[in-house]
Chain A
Amino acid sequence: MPGHPVGLRAPGQPGNGEVLVDQDRRSRPRTRWGSVVAVVTLLATAFVSAGVVAAPAGAATAGPKPGGEVRFGLEGETTGGYCLWSSQLAISGIQVVSAVYDTLTSPNTKGKYVPNLAESVTPNADSTEWTIKVRPNIKFQNGEPLNADAVKLNIDQWLKGTLFAFVFNNIDHTDKVDDLTVKVTTKTPWPAFPAYLFLVGRAGIMAPAQINDTTNCTSNLIGTGPFKLDSWKVNESLTVSKNPNYWKKDAKGNQLPYLDKITFVPVVDAPTRDNQLIGGQLDMLHTSSAQSIDKFRKTSGYDTVTEPPGNRDVHYYMLNTAQAPFNNADARRAIAEALNIKQINQIRNKGLFQVTNSVIDSKAQGYVKNNGLPKYNPTDAKALVEKVKAANGGKFDVTFLTTDDTESLAEVQLLAEQVQKVGMSPNLSQVNQAQLINTALAGKFSVMVWRNFHSDPEFGDAANYVWWSKTSPINFPRIDDPAMQTALVDGRSAADADADYVTMNKEMGAGQYIIPGWFVDWTIVSKGVKGILGAPLPDGSQPRFMYGRIPVDALYKTK
C-alpha cells in the first residue's frame, strides 16, 4: 500500500489510491454555491464513470492485468513447517503449498485426477505398475531441473515419513526409467494411486535441495509452483513472490501467475479474520465458519465461492473404541442417540450446514441414503446408559477432547449438556492444536471433536483406507471391525469398488465408531480478487475446488 504521512488520526478507508480528506478544508466554512457546484460535479463524474464502467466487461480483450499483491487470510499457522514428506499439514498449510509447489496430478471438476506436473501417469493392466513421465524443461525455483531423479527422490522420501510411510505403504519400489520417467511398482493393485499423487494437495514435489537440507527443510520451501518463498515470519505472515519461470500458461497463452506477490496471514479467530477483510487488511480469506459465510453472502461487495459437494470436509465426533466407555456397543449407540446434531447445527451454525449421518459425501463413492446410524432418541439413550452403568459400577464418564479455540469450546459445552441429559458424566479436555494429535494418539479421550477426512467421487480409497484401517496411525477411533477392514482392503485393490465402500459405510453406521455431524462448506471470500478457481489444467479441464483449497495460479486483482 502506498505510504502517506499519517498522524494519529487518519479518517477514511485505508488502501490504494484513496484520497485523504484535507482536515483544514473540511473545517473551513463553505458558501452555498460552492456546495452546489461540488455536488453537481460529483454527480456528473459519477454518471460519466458509471457509463464507462458499464461498457461491456467482455470488451477487456487483454485479459486479467498482471501485477498486484494479495493478502490471503488463513485459518491458522503451520507451526510444524513445510517439510512435506514428514509434516501433518492442515488446510492452511495445504493452501500455502498450492502456491509454492505443484503436484504430479490434480483433480478436475469432472471428478477425475489428471496429470498436472506429470505429463502422463499410466498404469499397467492391473494397476500394479505406474509409469510417471514429467514435463520437460521445468526447473525448481532454485534452478534445479525437474527430472526423474528428483521425482524418485520425492517418492522415496514419502516412504520415510512416519505418517506418509503408512499412507504410501502400498508402494513397493520406484525405478528410474529415463531422464524424465519413473516407474512405481505397488504391492497390490492400486487404482486410486493418481489420487495419492495429489493427496489433497499435500504431495507437492519438493526440490532436492530442500529435501537434502534436513536442518532447514521445514522452512526452506522450494518447489516448481507459481510462487516462490520470500520470507516466513511464523504466526505473522508468509510471503511468496512470482516465479517468472512458471511452466503453466493461461487459456490465452499468457504467462502465469498474474500476481506479483501473495502474503498469507494466519488469523485464527474467524471474526477477526472477517474484520480484516472488511477493513481492507486482507484481500481474501478462506473460512469454515457458518456465521462468516452467511454474513458475507448477505453483504454486497464480496465474492463468495463455496466448495461443491463431492469432497467435502466433515465435522464429526470420533469415539475412542479401545477403552471404556465406548468399547461397549451399547454405550456407542447411547451417545449416537443422545446427540441432537440438528440442535448443535442450529445453534452453532445457524442451521446453515448440511447435517449428515455419514462421512461419505453425497456425490462420493460409497454414499448411501441411510447407512444405519441411529437417529436422535434420548429416551432410548437413557435406557442404554442405565444398562451400561449397571454393568460398570454406576459410572459412565465421557471425556471430550477438542482444540482450545472459542468455537470448539462453545460446541463442546453443548455436547456435554446433551449427554448429561441422558445420564452420562462429561468432562472437557481442551488442548492446543499442536497438542491435539499427540493427545489423541495417547488415547486420552472418549470423544474427540474433529474436522477432517474427505471422501472422493472417483475413489473411495482416496482416504478411507488411510483413516479407518486397523493399523493406521491416524485411526484415532481405533476401529477394529473385521467386516469393515475387509471392505477397506478389498476396495483398495478392486477395479470396481462401489460395493465395498457401501459396505464400509454401512458398517460404520452399524458400529457407530464415529458420529458424523455436518459437511463443512469451505468458502473463499474475496474483495477485488478474481480467478479464484484457478487456471485450466494442462488437459484443458477446470481444477476442482476441494478440501478447502484453491489453486492460486490464476488470481488477479480487479481494483
Chain B
Amino acid sequence: MDAARLIGRRFLQLALVLLLVSFFTFSLVRILPGDPMSTIIPFGTSAQRSALKHDLGLDKPFLQQYVNYVGVPGLQSKGTSGILQGDLGRKYSTRQPVTTFLKQSLPISIQLVLYAQILALVIAIPLGVLAAYRAGSRSDRAINTTSFAFLAIPNFVLALLLAYFVGARLKWFPTAGYEPGWLDPLFDPTRHFTFDHFRYMTLPVITLAVGQVAIYMRLLRSDMIATLQENFITMAKAKGISNRRILFRHALRPSSLTLLTVAGLNIGTLIGGAVVVEVIFGVPGMGEKIYQAIVAREYVELQSYVLVIAALFVTVNFIVDFLYIVLDPRIRRAGSSA
C-alpha cells in the first residue's frame, strides 16, 4: 500500500475516533440520571434550577446539545461555543472555564510521562543489550527474574513504598507537592521554571518508570537475540568489528524502531498509571484533576479531560505509525512491491 495513502487513511481514522470518543463521553454524562442542578445550587429553589438549566443549555434536545458541545459552525445554537471554538465547558461549582485547569495541569502530566519514558528507556536499553549479549548466562537470568518480579509490583504499592522510605524516612525527596518545570511557562506564562521541579518529580517518575523498564528490556532482549543470529552480524564479526560496536551500532538499530512503537503505545499505560501516582504524590496533573472531577461529580469537566487525553493518545499513536511507515525500509519495500 502506498505510504501516502496509508498515512492519509490513518489520519481519517484518527479524526473519526476522536469524534466518536467525544460522542461517547458526551452521552455518558447526559444519560446519567440525577440532577446536576442540585449539585450547583443545593439551596436553590426549583425556579432557580430551571433558570440555571436553561442558562447551561441543558434543556435542549440531545443531538442539539451535542452539536453545541462540538461547536459546529452554522448548526450550533446562538451564543454557544464548543470544542471547535476552543471552549471546553465550565466547572459547575465555580463557573471557571475548564481550559484554565487544562493549562495548569496538562504540562505537568506531559512532563511526568516524558521523564518516565526517558528514564525507563535509559535503564532498559543497556540492560536489554546486556541480557541479549549474555543470553542464557547467569546475569541474563538474574536480569530476567528481577524484571519479571518488578512487573508484578502494582504501581500504587511502589508509590507508597517510595514515598515512605525514600521520602519520609530518608528525606531525600519530597513526598508530595510540585514546582513548575520548563513546559509549564509555555502553557501558562504566570509560572516560571524552578530547579526544585526535578526534586518533586523524582519519586513519581521513578514509580512510573519502573513498571515499564521490564517491558522494554524484555522486548529489546528478545528482539536482539533474534537479530544477533542473523547473517549480517556474523559478517560484521568476521570483519573484525568490536563487540561493542556490533551490539550498539548494528544489532540495536533494527530493534529501535520496534522499541519506538512500543514506547508510543505505552504512553497510554503511563497516562493511566499517572492518575494514581499523581494522587499519591500530590502532583496536580491531569490524572489528579480527573480524579477530583470524578469525586466532585463535575461531569462536564470530566468529559473534556477524557477527550483531551484520548486526543493526545491517538495523536501520539498516529505519529508512531507515521514514523514507522516512513522509517522502516522493509515496509516501504513491501508496500511498493504489493
Contact = CB atoms under 8 A, between A and B. Distances in A.
Question: Direct contact between A and B in the complex (CB less than 8 angstroms)?
Answer: yes
Interface of A: 1, 3-11, 13-14, 79-81, 162-163, 215, 218-219, 231, 233-236, 265, 267, 272, 275-276, 278-281, 404, 432, 434-435, 437-438, 441-442, 473
Interface stretch (B147-155, B173-181, B249-257, B268-276): B173-181
Contacts, number: 99
A1 B101 CA distance: 25
Contacts of A280: 174
A163 B41 CA distance: 11
Nearest to B43: A162
B9 to A, nearest CB: 41
B233 to A, nearest CB: 35
Given A10-B172, A276-B176, 9 more contacts: A8-B198, A10-B199, A14-B199, A235-B284, A278-B171, A279-B174, A432-B297, A435-B39, A441-B43
A438 B39 contact: yes
B177 A281 contact: yes
B95 interface: yes
Given A8-B198, A275-B175, A275-B176, A473 B43 contact: yes
B96 interface: yes
Contacts of B172: 9-11
Contacts of A234: 94, 96, 101
A233 B289 CA distance: 12
B182 to A, nearest CB: 13
A4 B195 CA distance: 7
B261 interface: no
- Identify the 5 closest CB pairs spanning chains A and B, nearest first: A162-B43, A438-B42, A432-B295, A3-B195, A434-B296
Contacts of B8: none
Interface in B90-108: 93-96, 101, 104
8 contacts: A4-B195, A6-B195, A7-B198, A10-B173, A79-B296, A163-B43, A219-B96, A265-B177
B46 interface: no
Interface of B: 38-39, 41-44, 93-96, 101, 104, 163, 167-168, 171-178, 190, 194-196, 198-199, 202, 282, 284, 288-289, 292, 295-297
A404 B289 CA distance: 17
A235 B43 contact: no
B284 A3 contact: no
Given A235-B284, A279-B167, A435-B39, A5 B195 contact: yes
A235 B292 CA distance: 9
A279 B281 CA distance: 13
Contacts of B297: 432, 434-435
Contact of A14 (B95, B104, B174, B282): B174
Contacts of A8: 198, 202
A381 B25 CA distance: 49
A6 B199 contact: yes
A435 B296 contact: yes
Nearest to B190: A231
A276 B173 CA distance: 11
Nearest to A163: B43
Nearest to B202: A8
B42 to A, nearest CB: 4
Contact of B175 (A5, A272, A434): A272
A452 to B, nearest CB: 16
Contact of A404 (B96, B176, B190, B295): B295
B284 to A, nearest CB: 5
Nearest to B292: A235
Nearest to A218: B94
A390 to B, nearest CB: 36
A80 B95 CA distance: 9
A79 B171 CA distance: 31
From A3, A278, A434, A473, name the one whose CB has the most chain B CB atoms within 10 angstroms: A434
Given A218-B94, A231-B190, A441-B43, A279 B175 contact: yes
Contacts of A265: 177
From B94, B167, B284, name the one whose CB has the most chain A CB atoms within 10 angstroms: B94
From A162, A234, A404, name the one whose CB has the most chain B CB atoms within 10 angstroms: A234
B199 A276 contact: no
A4 B172 CA distance: 15
Contact of B104 (A79, A219, A233, A441): A233
Contacts of B177: 265, 276, 281
A276 to B, nearest CB: 6
Contacts of A267: 176, 282
Given A79-B296, A272-B175, A281-B174, A6 B101 contact: no
Contacts of B174: 14, 276, 279-281
B190 A80 contact: no
Contacts of A4: 195
Contacts of B42: 437-438, 441
Given A235-B284, A236-B284, A281 B296 contact: no
A212 B319 CA distance: 49
B178 A236 contact: yes
B3 to A, nearest CB: 40
Nearest to A13: B171
Given A234-B96, A435-B297, A279 B43 contact: no
A13 B202 CA distance: 15
Given A432-B295, A434-B93, A281 B176 contact: yes
A435 B298 CA distance: 10
B96 A278 contact: no
A7 B205 CA distance: 14
Nearest to B108: A236
A407 B178 CA distance: 25
Nearest to A11: B172
Contact of B94 (A162, A219, A233, A435): A219
A10 B93 CA distance: 41
A280 B168 CA distance: 11
